[in-house]
Structure 1
Amino acid sequence: MSETTFPGLATKNSSTGGDRKSNDDANDVVWILTSAFLIFTMQSGYALLESGIVSRKNEVNILIKNAANVLLGGFAYWTFGFSLSFGTHSVLWYASGDFFTKASEDSMGMTYAKFVFQLAYATTSTTLVSGSMAERCKFTAYCVFTFLNTVVYALPAGWMWRNDGFLASLGSVDIGGSGTVHLVGGCCGLVASIILGPRIGRYDRGTEPLPLGNPTNAMLGLFMLWWGWLGFSAGSTFGIVGDKWKYSSR
C-alpha cells in the first residue's frame, strides 16, 4: 500500500522556498484548469458532430446522450471514479479511499485541479462510445452504460497515471491520453457496435452512405473538437512551471 502523491503538490513551508513552491503550484493550477475548460468544450463538439451525422429523427436523442455523458459520468467520477484511479490507498491494480472527492485546505488547489482535469478526460472517453452506439441504443440503457463506463475508464487511468500504477511501474508514458482515453473509449465502442449490430434497415437499400442529417453541425463540431484538442494535448504536461511550458508549446 502506498499513498498517492500529486505532481506539484505544495507542502507547508514558511521559508522563501515554500512561498516559491506555492506560487509555482498556483501557476500550474491555472494552466491545468484552463486546459480542463478547453477539454470540456469538446463535449459540445461531439454533440454537434454526432447530431450532424445521424438522421434528423435521432438528432435530439444523440444530443441528450452527450448531455448524459457529463451529468451521469461526472457524478460517477466524483463519487468513485477519481478514487479508483488516484485514491490515497493504492495497490498495483487499483486505488481506494477519498470517495466523493474532497480535499483539505492545504492540498485542495492541486487536488481539485487534478480532479477537474481527469474528469474532462473521463467524460471524453465515454463520449467516444456514444457515436458508435448512435441510433441503436435506448436512452435508459445508455444512461446505465454511462455510469458503469466510469469504472471501465478509471482502472486503466490509474494504471497509467498513478505513481505506483501497473503500467507506470513498467515505464509506460501516455501524453494526451492516446492510450488511456482513446484506446479505452475505442475498445468500448467496438464492443458496443458488435453487440448492437447495424441500425435496423441500414442496408435495405445497399451499402451506400446515408445522407447527413446536418452537415453544418458536423463541420462546426469538427472545429470545436479541434479547439478542445489544443487543451487536451497542451494541458497534458500538467503545468507550465519549470520546463513544462516548453513541452506544452511543442
Structure 2
Amino acid sequence: MENIGIDTIWVLIAAALVMLMQAGFSLVEIGLTRAKNSINILMKNFVDFSAGSIIFWFFGFSLMFGEDVAGFIGFGDFMSDSNAIDGIPFKASLIFQTVFAATAATIVSGAIAERTKFSAYLIFSIIITAFIYPISGHWIWGGGWLSEMGFHDFAGSTVVHSVGAWVALAGAIVVGPRIGKYSSTGKSRVIPGHNLAFGALGVFILWFGWFGFNAGSQLAASGEDNAIAISHIFVTTNLSAVAGAMAAMIISWIRYKKPALSITMNGALAGLVGITAGCDIVSPGSALIIGAVAGTFLVLAVEFIDQKLKIDDPVGAVAVHGISGALGTIMVGLFATEGGLFYGGGTALLTTQIIGVVAVFLWAFIMGFLLFKLIKITVGVRVSSSEEQKGLDITEHGEEIYN
C-alpha cells in the first residue's frame, strides 16, 4: 500500500507538470504571432484544456484504454471508476492521460493561428480529443495492433505530438495562409511575432513540464528500479533538448549568418519531442544524437514547409511536433539499447517503428483533413478578410491584449 501511495503521488505531480505545459504553449504561440490575435490564441488554449478534459473523461479515455476490440479501438464503461490501472488508482490514470490528450489538441492551435474561426476551432478541439487522438492512442498505449507488434513510444513522440502535428498540417492546408504571407509570385514573407520574450519563457515552461511528461510516464517512483529509471529519463530528456537547441542555433547561424532566437527555441522543443519516444531505452549519448538530428531537421523542415510547400504554419508546429516526433520515434529503432539496430538488434524494431509512424500519419492527417473540410462546408473555418486584418481579438472576442 505504501508503494501505491508513492507511485500515485508521483503520477499526480507529473500530471500537474504536464498541465502547466498549457501555459508554455500559450506563451510560445502568442509570442510568435501578432499582438492583435493574442486573446484568440489564449482562448483556444483554455478551450483545449477545458472542453478536452470533459470530453476525454466522458468518452475518449474509454476509447483509448477500454477493452481492446480487433486491435483498433477500446470499449468500456464510459466515465467508469474501475480498479487500479498500471498499479495506481483509476482517477490518477485518468487525470494523467487527460493532460496528455489536451496537449495533442493544443499543438494544432499554433499552426492555424491568426485566421481561424473560434467556433470552428471549438468543434475541432472536441472531435480530436473524443475520437482522433484516442483511437490511434489505443493502437499503441491501449493494447492495440501496434503495441502487439512491439512498437515503442514511451511518452508520446508519435501518440501525442505527431498526431497533433499531422492534424495541424491538414488544418493549415484547408484554412490556407494568412493574408500577405505569400506574394503574388509565391515568395514567402516573414510575419514576425510580437514578443519573443513570451516565446522564450514559454519554451522554458514547456521544458520544465516535459520532465513530468516523460519521467511521469514511468507511472511509478517507488523502489530502486523506478528511481533509477526516472533519473535516467530526466538526463536523456534534458540532453536531447540542449542538443536540439545547439544544433538549431548552429544551423541557423550558418544559413542566415545570425544565431536566431526563434529557431533556437524551436530547436529545444524539437529535441524534447524527438526524445519522448525513447527516453527510457536510449543512452545519454544517443539522446544527444537524437536531439541534434531533431534540431538540424527542424530548421530544414520549417524552410521546406513554408517556402516549398507554401503551407503557413506561424509557430512551426508541424516541423517541431510532426517531423521531430517521427524522426525521434524512428530513431528508437536505431538507438534502443535492447533491440536497436546499432546495438545488434537487427532491423525488426526499426521496421516496426517506421510502420507505426506511417500508420499514425495516415490516420491523423486523413481524419484531420476530412474534419476540417466538413467544418469548412458547414460552419466555415476562416474569418473574413476584414476580421483577419483587424485582428481576431477584437472581432471574435471584443477584447484587446494591450489596452
Q: TM-score, normalised by structure 1?
A: 0.85
Question: Partner of 2:208: helix, strand, or coil?
Answer: helix
1:34 and 2:1 aligned: no
For 1:187-198, list aligned pairs within 5 A: 187-198=166-177
Aligned residues of 1:28 and 1:241 also touching (Cα < 8 A): yes
Closer, same or farther in 2 for the Cα pair 1:33/1:90, shift >3 Å? farther
Amino acid at match of 2:210: W
Give the match for residue 288 of structure 2.
none
Please give the per-residue CA displacement for 1:13-39, whole angstroms capped at 9, x wherever unaligned: xxxxxxxxx222221111111111000
Question: Partner of 2:89: helix, strand, or coil?
Answer: helix
Aligned residues of 1:45 and 1:225 also touching (Cα < 8 A): yes
Give the match for residue 122 of structure 2.
143
Please give the per-residue CA displacement for 1:96-126, whole angstroms capped at 9, x wherever unaligned: 122124336x779521111111111110011
Q: Unaligned 5+ residue runs, structure 1?
A: 1-21
1:85 and 2:64 aligned: yes
Count residues with an aligned counterpart: 227
Distance 2:63 2:92 in 1: 17
Give the match for residue 62 of structure 1.
41
Give the match for residue 75 of structure 2.
96
For 1:236-247, list aligned pairs within 5 A: 236-242=217-223, 243-247=225-229
Which of 213, 216, 219 matches 1:232? 213
What is the Cα deviation at residue 88 of structure 1? 4.3
Give the match for residue 185 of structure 1.
164
Amino acid at match of 2:227: W
Amino acid at match of 1:157: G
Question: Partner of 2:145: helix, strand, or coil?
Answer: coil
Please give the per-residue CA displacement for 1:158-197, whole angstroms capped at 9, x wherever unaligned: 11112x3211111112112111001111111111111111
Closer, same or farther in 2 for the Cα pair 1:161/1:97, shift >3 Å? same
Amino acid at match of 2:6: N
Question: Partner of 1:95: helix, strand, or coil?
Answer: strand
Please give the per-residue CA displacement for 1:65-93, whole angstroms capped at 9, x wherever unaligned: 00000011111101100000112464411
Amino acid at match of 1:49: V
Give the match for residue 8 of structure 1.
none
Distance 2:62 2:122 in 1: 21
Amino acid at match of 1:60: I
Give the match for residue 166 of structure 1.
145
What is the Cα deviation at residue 204 of structure 1? 4.5
Please give the per-residue CA displacement for 1:185-229, whole angstroms capped at 9, x wherever unaligned: 111111111111111222249634222222221111111111111
Please give the per-residue CA displacement for 1:27-70, whole angstroms capped at 9, x wherever unaligned: 11111111110000000000111011111110110010000000
Distance 2:110 2:3 in 1: 40
Aligned residues of 2:73 and 2:139 also touching (Cα < 8 A): yes
Distance 1:101 1:119 in 2: 14
Greater Cα offset, 34-43 or 86-95: 86-95
Q: Give the structure with the larger helix fraction.
A: 2
Distance 2:222 2:144 in 1: 25
Question: Partner of 1:51: helix, strand, or coil?
Answer: helix
Which of 227, 230, 237 matches 1:248? 230
Amino acid at match of 2:200: M
Give the match for residue 121 of structure 1.
100
Distance 1:57 1:202 in 2: 16
1:152 and 2:123 aligned: no
What is the Cα deviation at residue 239 of structure 1? 1.0
Amino acid at match of 1:167: L
Greater Cα offset, 147-156 or 170-179: 170-179
Aligned residues of 1:156 and 1:180 also touching (Cα < 8 A): yes
Distance 2:70 2:227 in 1: 32
Aligned residues of 2:181 and 2:189 also touching (Cα < 8 A): no
Distance 1:246 1:210 in 2: 46
Amino acid at match of 1:197: G
What is the Cα deviation at residue 245 of structure 1? 2.2
Aligned residues of 1:236 and 1:248 also touching (Cα < 8 A): no
1:76 and 2:55 aligned: yes
Q: Unaligned 5+ residue runs, structure 2?
A: 233-403
Question: Partner of 1:209: helix, strand, or coil?
Answer: coil
Distance 1:96 1:114 in 2: 17
Identity of aligned residues (%): 38
Give the match for residue 45 of structure 1.
24
Q: Superposition RMSD on alpha carbons, in Å?
A: 1.9
Distance 1:77 1:227 in 2: 25
Q: Which structure exhibits the higher relative contact order, with contacts defined as CA atoms closer than 8 Å and separated by 6 or more residues? A: 1
Off by >3 Å, runs of 4+ in structure 1:
88-91, 106-109
Distance 2:204 2:14 in 1: 17
Amino acid at match of 1:182: H
Aligned residues of 1:82 and 1:101 also touching (Cα < 8 A): no
Please give the per-residue CA displacement for 1:115-154, whole angstroms capped at 9, x wherever unaligned: 1111111100111111111112100000000000011000
